[in-house]
Structure 1
């Protein structure tokens, strides 16, 4: 019985070569999975950016549709150069009753979504109704469109600020 215990005591551990092989296999697996994890994180941020742009642009369209309806029903009298788009993104959060079109202030967003690629707190890039469709300089006045100010490149090769 004593010799059996001694034989088992020597065979319970791993040899140095087995440890080196196990570490090599683990490092190869880690080297393969790390780029895949980075791509998955970037893809998630891209999905979030598309959702945020869709949400804000949809709210801008609803705001304009309500403005048009209020003007058509003569509940709101616009100024000569008014386009029906908000002057700030905050107006989408605070809402408007459009001269009694609604019995309450209709709010178009609960909060302004953030840009997942905005590292420097620049916020959204904005375009006015009179700006060129691909302009990156806000002409002031109303907000017709928003875009990401990130100069990063998406997985499909397009620039985020062109979405």
Structure 2
């Protein structure tokens, strides 16, 4: 008796494999989304730290009278762009400009990619309260304009 053997899978085997793949996909998608969000939050933390350190370095240079500050000014930079453009050294005219940032990082949660990096951030002036930050004649702090809260439950604007 000769039996013929057919190669391939039966319909039940294919359905079982499709069901297993579907279950794996439903588990993997949330993990990938959380991982991508976690990476964006890490990038946000790094960008905020870098900008805030540059603002603090600018203020320290103003306090030490290494840069010229207008009379009555707070000593904080007038804009984020000033940190990149640099300022003249008040003590040494032959020295190169003092730079505080190489570039302004973008807010990783900003959806509008056509905006300049400086415009993706909210800025708080020295004379505005922390509960109601507003722009002014200087940049005392920056915050994310992103809606929503991080994985830690804190709204992005409060980081």
Partner of 1:132: 129
Structure 1 residue 99: deviation in Å?
1.4
Q: In 1, distance between residues paired with 2:75 and 2:48?
A: 19
Structure 1 residue 112: deviation in Å?
0.5
Partner of 1:55: 50
Structure 1 residue 15: deviation in Å?
0.4
Partner of 2:35: 40
Q: In 2, distance between residues paired with 1:101 and 1:117?
A: 40
What does residue range 79-90 of structure 1 map to in structure 2 within 5 Å? 79-90=70-81
Answering whether residue 101 of structure 2 is matched by residue 113 of structure 1, we say no
**SS of the counterpart of 1:99?**
coil
Structure 1 residue 101: deviation in Å?
4.4
CA contact (8 A) 2:125 2:133 kept: no
**SS of the counterpart of 1:98?**
coil
Structure 1 residue 151: deviation in Å?
1.4
Partner of 2:141: 145
Write 1 or 2 for the structure with the bigger share of helix: 1
Structure 1 residue 60: deviation in Å?
0.3
Larger Rg: 1
What TM-score do you get using the length of structure 1 for normalisation? 0.86
Partner of 2:21: 26
Q: In 1, distance between residues paired with 2:56 and 2:134?
A: 21
Name stretches of at least 5 consecutive residues in structure 1 with no aligned partner. Answer: none
**What is the total number of aligned residue pairs between the two structures?**
153
CA displacement 1:59-101 (0-9 Å, x = unmatched)? 0001111111126xxx74x433211111110000010123134
CA contact (8 A) 1:86 1:142 kept: yes
Answering whether residue 78 of structure 2 is matched by residue 92 of structure 1, we say no
Q: In 2, distance between residues paired with 1:79 and 1:136?
A: 23
CA displacement 1:139-159 (0-9 Å, x = unmatched)? x10100000011121111111
**SS of the counterpart of 1:125?**
strand
